[in-house]
Amino acid sequence: MNNSEILKSVYESNIKTYKMLVSLLNKWHNKSYNLTDKEWETIKYYKSVLDTYFNDPSLIKETIKETEKLVLKYS
């Protein structure tokens, strides 16, 4: 793998993680939804990342868009 392929792979992995976190945050903010133990553990595991985004899915979505641009750059 060359450097471009490695970067693209890392960015794609980050996008998947960010999308998962957005989904979890939406569930967490939905008062009628009860998080599973696994979902709650995942939120706790990514606490520092979520704190960076102030638990705001819209900020994470902005990062996803910017990261998608980087993926296109390396495609």
Q: Is the dihedral of CA 70, 73, 74, 75 positive or negative?
A: positive
Tell me the pLDDT tens digit for each residue of 2-59: 999 999 999 999 999 999 999 999 999 999 999 999 999 999 999 999 999 999 999 9
Could you tell me if 11 and 74 are in contact, meaning their C-beta atoms sit under 8 angstroms apart? yes
Note the pTM of the prediction, 2 decimals. Answer: 0.91
The total number of residues written for the chain in this structure: 75
